[in-house]
């Protein structure tokens, strides 16, 4: 290598290092600026308990961690590209930074609207579903686009000025990549943990949204993400250790979840006998969280009718949904089915043979129907229902004239509101009644972002009056007026529907099951478990006594209990083996949990596991109390035990859809054919 070439090479490295220092300084400055904007936006739109200055401080620390994890590899790449073509390297890096901040602001606006960190769940939805969700939410409107445009414009000007007009000394230009290298080699990302703030919203608010997205995506695409301990089978293989329910698995090598039926009928003591097979009406309420439902709700009671109904019902106040989104509710409630990779409905190329209340009871003469105000194709629901032989799938495309749709938002609408949906159900189900017993499944939509309801002013006034009646600090609720108003609207819609149904002849022979698919995320979560904490209500004139239960039960437990009740009281022959995840509702009045319950936060994030009185969320362990208030604890041995049990379950879950079956074909054919 000639001395001239060496001199040119050194000159290029010096110049590119100085230029990169300017670009890096601009990037960090605008990374900080974006976080400050986000914190101020969050403080303006939502109630915060921490100080704004404190949140900004922690947010900037998170940004600094993210910056240091990127600088050294970016510096190396930039210098290498600068050697052949300096202008190309500069233009390419500037373009990458612009794209990064556009993406960062999309994540920022998404979180500010939904209060949910967008991560690998993005990969679990189709393009049409993403457009529908984002468009309906209104998270990207004129003002956000204007702010982003101004931000990007000033960013480009700053990058040009910092990199071309300022001569950064070589020692400074090399110091930042050197610090970054040291940070990476010493595992700085894992050593400097994020602080635990007073609630989940604030803990998520301070996080760098791109960093969270990349981490979630890496975990999702990492083929070795299930790190199964070789001793995992020592923990709950038969779910019989330490007081947990025991399950006897038949052939896990071929059918991961196939087990002998528990045959535990806990509902018969509460019901009077009847010669006629009962009808089942499932009312699954979008976003119905326990945090604002019924007596003792941590955020106050905004469902006066459901509160009164639960007092005439079997009521599980510590119910758990199985996911933080709607995608799992039908398979979980109706079939107690595992999730597979992106939700049971999304198993490719087709949903595998399985048992559920729908197909098992169809073979016994039941007529099944599904009512939804939106598009039943969303989340693969129609796919699941068709696989289960549901003849009547009534969604927005089937509503006749005379029904009013939810007003559009940005040209998008979720369909028909709850009052219209339940009115349609009452009118249509009466026409479809052919004298056979029925399973009707109703999924509501009004309590979904953007929370547009009919009679807006009426329910706004009811909301304000509700605040006064409960004597709460109104300032903590007014930012969420449209959310709480929609809950009151949904509660009223159910009240009207039940009131009308009571006039029907078949009311005396009907069992209603009411629950939420998950908790509304747009009202800040008070804890990690809050996302899944929902009421489970079984109401019927067939009840001979009512009760409230404190024991934890989940959506996985609903179908097994209802089927065992039918089998023991109506001589229905049902299979002695199944692949249900749950083993039945727990009718213990005292607080306890004898179940192991996996909870899938999004289609791609299976990070929660409840085992006994403990809740494992990602890498954090919590202890639950009788009111489902959780406290973070440090117990390495207990954490390892729960993690091993969780990993074992995840391993089995991942095998579904990858060649292994849910149920033997012989059992499926015998018990689901008419």
What confidence tier does 331 reach under pLDDT thresholds 50, 70, 90? very high
Query: Taking a C-beta distance cutoff of 8 angstroms, is the pair 334, 282 a contact?
Result: yes
User: Is 178 found in the same domain as 294?
Assistant: no
Region of poorest pLDDT, from 83-87, 598-602, 654-658: 83-87
pLDDT at 351: 86
Q: How confident is the model at residue 197 (pLDDT cuts 50, 70, 90)?
A: confident
248 and 174 in one domain? no
Query: Is 234 a residue whose pLDDT tops 60?
Result: no
Where among 169, 193, 221 does a domain terminate?
221
- pLDDT reported for residue 414: 81
Distance CA 454, CA 419 (A): 9
Q: With contact defined as beta carbons under 8 Å apart, do 324 and 516 qualify?
A: no
Rounded to the nearest 10 degrees, how much is the dihedral formed by the CA atoms of 468, 474, 478, 481?
A: -30
Report residue 37 as tokens. Answer: 């904007």
Which tokens is 77 given? Answer: 């790449």
Residues 63, 96 within the same domain: yes
The reply to whether 227 falls in a domain is no
* Residue 648 resides in a domain: yes
Q: Answer yes or no: do 212 and 241 share one domain.
A: no
Q: Alpha-carbon distance 412 to 445, whole Å?
A: 14
Q: What is the structure's pLDDT at 141?
A: 66
Confidence band, pLDDT 50/70/90 cuts, at residue 153: very high
pLDDT band at 599, cuts 50/70/90? very high
At 439 the three-state DSSP class reads: strand
> 335: which residues sit within 8 A by CB, 6+ positions away?
344, 354, 355, 356, 357, 358, 388, 559, 580
Question: What is the structure's pLDDT at 79?
Answer: 86
68-87 confidence digits (pLDDT tens): 999 999 999 988 888 777 77
Q: How far apart are CA 352 and CA 331, in angstroms?
A: 12
DSSP 276-330: SPPEEEEEEETT--GGGSSTT-TT----HHHHHHHTTSEEEEEEE-SBSSGGGHH
Each residue of 340-392: pLDDT tens digit?
Answer: 988 999 887 788 999 999 999 999 999 999 999 999 998 899 999 999 999 89
Higher pLDDT, 159 or 244: 159
Q: Is residue 533 part of a domain?
A: yes
Same domain for 415 and 469: yes
**Domains of the chain: total:** 2
The CATH number linked to 457 is 3.40.720.10
Q: Which of 266-270, 540-544, 669-673 is predicted with the least confidence, judged by mean pLDDT?
A: 669-673
Q: What is the pLDDT of residue 97?
A: 94
| Residue 563 binned pLDDT confidence (cut-offs 50, 70, 90) | very high
Residue 386 resides in a domain = yes
| Average model confidence (pLDDT) across the chain | 88
Of 221, 242, 269, the residue at which a domain comes to its end is 221
Domain boundary among 169, 200, 221: 221
Q: Supply the range of the domain harboring residue 209.
A: 3-221
Residue 39 in domain = yes
pLDDT > 50? residue 44: yes
Cα-trace Rg, the chain: 27
- Whole-angstrom distance, CA of residue 196 vs CA of residue 490: 34
Residue 226 inside a domain? The answer is: no
DSSP letter for each residue of 364-418? TT-EEEEEESS-TTGGGHHHHHHHTT--EEE-GGG--TT-PBPPPBTTB---B-H
Does 98 share its domain with 125? yes
Q: Which of 514, 449, 511, 492 is nearest to 319 (CA)?
A: 514
667 has a pLDDT exceeding 60 = yes
Q: Are residues 139 and 167 in the same domain?
A: yes
DSSP per-residue letters across 532-551:
TEEEEEEE-TTBSS-EEE-S
Same-domain check for residues 155 and 299 = no
Q: Are residues 239 and 214 in the same domain?
A: no
pLDDT of 530 > 90? The answer is: yes
Considering the domain architecture, whether residues 515 and 440 belong to the same structural domain is answered as yes
Do 516 and 607 fall within a single domain? yes
Percent of the chain with pLDDT over 90: 64
> In terms of domains, do 127 and 264 share one?
no
Query: At residue 632, does pLDDT exceed 50?
Result: yes
Residue 131 confidence (pLDDT): 64
pLDDT band of 2, cuts 50, 70, 90: low
Whether 44 maps to a domain, the answer reads: yes
Beta bridge partners of 597: 610
Which tokens hold the place of 180?
Answer: 């970054």
pLDDT of residue 379: 87
What local confidence, expressed as pLDDT, does residue 252 receive? Answer: 87
Confidence of residue 6 (pLDDT cuts 50, 70, 90): low
């Amino acid at each position: 290598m000639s001395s001239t070439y060496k001199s040119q090479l050194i000159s290029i490295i010096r110049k590119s290092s100085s230029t990169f220092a300017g670009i890096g300084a601009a990037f960090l400055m605008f990374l900080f600026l974006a976080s400050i904007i986000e914190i101020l936006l969050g403080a303006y739109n939502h109630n915060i308990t921490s100080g704004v200055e404190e949140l900004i401080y922690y947010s900037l620390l998170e940004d600094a961690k993210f910056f240091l994890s990127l600088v050294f590899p970016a510096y190396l790449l930039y210098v290498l590209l600068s050697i052949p073509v300096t202008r190309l390297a500069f233009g390419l890096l500037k373009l990458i930074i612009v794209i990064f901040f556009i993406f960062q602001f999309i994540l920022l606006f998404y979180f500010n609207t939904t209060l949910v960190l967008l991560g690998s769940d993005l990969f679990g939805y189709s393009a049409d579903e993403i457009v529908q969700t984002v468009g309906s939410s209104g998270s990207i409107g004129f003002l956000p686009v204007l702010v982003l445009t101004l931000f990007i414009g000033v960013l480009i000007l700053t990058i040009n000025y910092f990199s071309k007009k300022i001569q950064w000394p070589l020692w400074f230009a090399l110091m930042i990549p050197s610090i970054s290298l040291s940070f990476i080699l010493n595992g700085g990302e894992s050593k400097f943990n994020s602080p635990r703030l007073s609630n989940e919203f604030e803990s998520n608010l301070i996080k760098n949204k791109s960093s969270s997205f990349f981490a979630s995506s890496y975990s999702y695409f990492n083929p070795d993400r299930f790190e199964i301990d070789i001793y995992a089978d020592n923990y709950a293989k038969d779910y019989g250790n330490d007081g947990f329910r025991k399950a006897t698995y038949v052939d896990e090598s071929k059918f991961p979840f196939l087990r002998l039926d528990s045959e535990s009928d806990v509902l018969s003591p509460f019901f009077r006998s009847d010669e006629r097979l009962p009808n089942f009406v499932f009312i699954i309420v979008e976003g119905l969280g326990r945090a604002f439902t019924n007596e003792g709700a941590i955020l106050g009671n905004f469902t006066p009718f459901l509160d009164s109904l639960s007092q005439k019902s079997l009521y599980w106040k510590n119910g758990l949904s199985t996911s933080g989104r709607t995608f799992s509710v039908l398979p979980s409630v109706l079939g107690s089915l595992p999730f597979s990779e992106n939700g049971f409905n999304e198993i490719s190329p087709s949903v595998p043979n399985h048992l559920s209340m729908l197909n098992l009871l169809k073979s016994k003469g039941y007529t099944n129907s599904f009512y939804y105000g939106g598009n039943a194709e969303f989340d693969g629901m129609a796919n699941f229902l068709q696989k289960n032989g549901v003849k009547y799938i009534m969604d927005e495309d089937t509503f006749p004239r005379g029904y009013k749709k939810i007003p559009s938002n940005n040209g998008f609408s979720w369909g028909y509101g709850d009052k219209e949906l339940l009115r349609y159900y009452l009118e249509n189900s009466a026409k479809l009644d052919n004298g056979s017993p029925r399973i009707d499944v109703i999924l509501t939509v009004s309590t979904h972002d953007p929370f547009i309801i009919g009679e807006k002013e009426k329910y706004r006034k009811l909301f304000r009056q509700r605040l006064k009646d409960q004597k709460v600090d109104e300032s903590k609720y007014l930012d969420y007026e449209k959310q709480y108003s929609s809950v009151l609207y949904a509660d009223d819609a159910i009240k009207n529907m039940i009131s009308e149904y009571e006039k029907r002849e078949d009311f005396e022979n009907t069992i209603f099951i009411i629950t939420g698919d998950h908790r509304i995320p747009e009202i800040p979560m008070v804890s990690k478990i809050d996302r899944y904490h929902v009421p489970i209500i079984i109401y019927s004139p067939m009840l001979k006594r009512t009760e409230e239960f404190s024991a934890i039960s989940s959506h996985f437990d609903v179908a097994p209990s209802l089927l065992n009740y039918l089998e023991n009281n109506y001589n229905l022959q049902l299979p002695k083996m199944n692949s249900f995840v749950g083993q039945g509702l727990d009718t213990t009045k005292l607080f306890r949990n004898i179940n192991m319950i996996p909870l899938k936060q999004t289609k791609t994030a299976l990070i929660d596991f409840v085992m006994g009185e403990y809740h494992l969320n990602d890498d954090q362990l919590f202890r639950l109390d009788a009111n489902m208030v959780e406290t973070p604890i440090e117990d390495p041995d207990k954490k390892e035990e729960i993690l091993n049990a969780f990993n074992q379950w995840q391993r089995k879950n991942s095998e579904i859809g990858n060649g292994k079956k849910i149920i033997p074909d012989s059992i499926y054919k015998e018990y689901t054919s008419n």
